[in-house]
Amino acid sequence: MALPVKDQLRYWGIATAVFVFVLWLLGDVLLPFVIGAAIAYFLDPVADRLERLGLSRVAATALITVVAVALFVITFLMVVPALITQLVDLVETLPTLFQDLRAFIDKRFPSLLDAESNTHQFLVSFGETLKSKTGEVLQTVVTSVGSAINVVVLLVIVPVVAVYLLLDWDRMIERIDSLLPLDHAPVIRKLAGEIDAVLASFVRGMGTVCLILGIYYAVALMIVGLQFGLIVGFIAGLVTFIPYLGALIGGALAIGLALFQFWGDWTSIGLVAGIFAIGQVIEGNFLTPKLVGSSVGLHPVWLLLALSVFGALFGFVGMLIAVPVAAALGVLARFGTGQYLVSRLYTGLVGQESAQDKAQDTD
């Protein structure tokens, strides 16, 4: 005899509460394992394709590992030092940029910055604060990054976890499938398939889109000669997974920097703006339709809410799991809505009468 629905809800509720508590308690400890699992999930289709080409799972994992290590070393040696240097220079240059902005406004729009106006006093105060706090902000950022993702996590734990999970991914899925409650296994498999489809489209597809656009923005801006082009391209590519936000933030930052650097050289400023316009055309007409698809099912507002809530509750780990959890909750919400629409709670007597009328008309 199957368990009553009330008991099932109790057990699943307890399991969910325990999972949330463990995640909140061990968030920092779980960080390398979450990153490793995300990498394994991202690369599992590549391993499956290599297996279909004739390689064993071990050989496919070994080949992927060698290629990934080589790409990581090349990126670390060529890109990361320049990225860090530009980030440091940008933070140190912010006070100067702010002073230049105030001087530009004072020259072009003197009425906005009257010496006695509140706007002028605010800008002066803000500029002095920004200048005095720049070093502290930079030190805090470096310290936070160093404590959240240390060298051991990057170079040892994450790759090891990713390799082991990638090697045993299919066996783990089969084992989990064998443990599903028999009464509910078909529904769980259906929901899991839908969640995997959403994640595959969004995480793998948008991850590839972010990488391509980030490289495009960084290379194009550096070719134009924009200072901090690498860091601007990195930021724009990083937040591309939220529609229009990547181009909006990256474009505003790039054009703002271009106005200071190329003031009077409208051709260069136009090139910077054109880079982001072309990027949006490529993303909207080629990359996103091909790599992500049109039926992902994750609304941008839902993503922002999930990132904000999970980031506030569980820190960096929460932000990593926010997208998978948002996808799962979206699928479950659609399933629950579908069940509700055919339930007696929704149809009531009116729905039953309509169904009887249709049956009589058919007869």
Most confident of 56-65, 222-231, 248-257: 56-65
Query: How far does Cα 135 stand from its chain's mean position?
Result: 28
C-alpha to C-alpha distance for 152 and 81, rounded to whole angstroms: 18
**Which single residue is written with the structure tokens 């045993």?**
168
Does residue 335 register a pLDDT over 70? yes
> Which tens digit of pLDDT belongs to each residue from 30-53?
777 888 888 888 888 889 999 999
> Using an 8 Å Cβ cutoff, are 51 and 57 in contact?
yes
> Using an 8 Å Cβ cutoff, are 153 and 145 in contact?
no
The beta-strand segments (E) located in the chain are: none
Average pLDDT, the chain: 75
Give the pLDDT score at 267. Answer: 85
What are the boundaries of each domain within the chain?
8-179, 206-287, 297-350
Task: Output 185 or 137, whichever has higher pLDDT.
Answer: 185
Tokens of 71: 């790409």
Task: Output 7 or 213, whichever has higher pLDDT.
Answer: 213
Q: Which of 308, 310, 315 is nearest to 28 (CA)?
A: 315
> Which tens digit of pLDDT belongs to each residue from 78-102?
766 766 676 666 666 666 666 666 6
Read off the pLDDT band of 117 (50, 70, 90): low
Helices 57-78 and 27-52: angle between axes, nearest 10 degrees: 120
Give the pLDDT score at 64. Answer: 92
Task: Output 306 or 145, whichever has higher pLDDT.
Answer: 306
Q: What is the mean pLDDT of residues 146-158?
A: 62
Task: Output 142 or 129, whichever has higher pLDDT.
Answer: 129
Give the pLDDT score at 122. Answer: 60
Give the pLDDT score at 141. Answer: 47
Give the pLDDT score at 293. Answer: 61
Read off the pLDDT band of 63 (50, 70, 90): very high
Q: Which of 254, 243, 253, 252 is nearest to 280 (CA)?
A: 243
> Which tens digit of pLDDT belongs to each residue from 285-297?
777 777 766 545 5
C-alpha to C-alpha distance for 205 and 100, rounded to whole angstroms: 41
C-alpha to C-alpha distance for 222 and 257, rounded to whole angstroms: 13
Q: Where are the alpha helices (DSSP H) in the chain?
A: 5-25, 27-52, 57-78, 80-108, 118-148, 151-152, 158-178, 185-199, 205-224, 229-238, 245-261, 266-282, 300-341, 344-362
Does residue 346 register a pLDDT over 60? yes
244: left (phi over 0), alpha (psi -120 to 50) or beta: left
> Using an 8 Å Cβ cutoff, are 225 and 267 in contact?
no
Most confident of 105-119, 120-134, 339-353: 339-353
Give the pLDDT score at 144. Answer: 46
